[in-house]
Amino acid sequence: MANDTFHCSIVTPERAVLETEAKMVSLPAHDGEMGILRGRAPLLCQLGIGTLRVESPEGTEVFFVDRGFAQMVENKLTVLTEQARRPSEINREEVQRSLEEAQAMDLKGSEQMWDDERLMAIHRARTQIKLKDKHG
């Protein structure tokens, strides 16, 4: 292991998505983007919906992630998430349909819960479309 890398694992309920040595990881924490480098103090954070970028000695990989947790301990980053999809795994037409359905979602009156669900679905779809368009 090089002196400037740390171990990075990305895991979903269905599979281990990535196991690699990373130089830097950028992840969508629930309250904003966060960068992780070797030597980072121990950390446990809640993930939001967004793009996770892993820079390794071999190159950069990007993923769409949908909530979960990230833990950094002793130069080992573990990301547990509901979804971790590479741009090549995103079906743009399917996501576009999801966006249209979310935008048309009935708000069932003025209940905040339904509006939050709608806004999260819109954000989830827009993030995937942006990632697919940028990294194909």
For residues 24 and 39, give the distance between their C-alpha atoms in angstroms, rounded to a whole number.
Answer: 11
Q: How confident is the model at residue 1 (pLDDT cuts 50, 70, 90)?
A: very low
pLDDT greater at residue 1 or residue 81? 81
The C-alpha atoms of residue 115 and residue 42 are separated, in whole angstroms, by 35
Report pLDDT digits (tens) over 70-129: 999 999 999 999 999 999 999 999 999 999 998 887 666 555 555 688 888 999 999 999
Task: Write the DSSP symbol of residue 14.
Answer: S
Note the pLDDT of residue 112: 57
Q: How far apart are CA 115 and CA 130, in angstroms?
A: 22
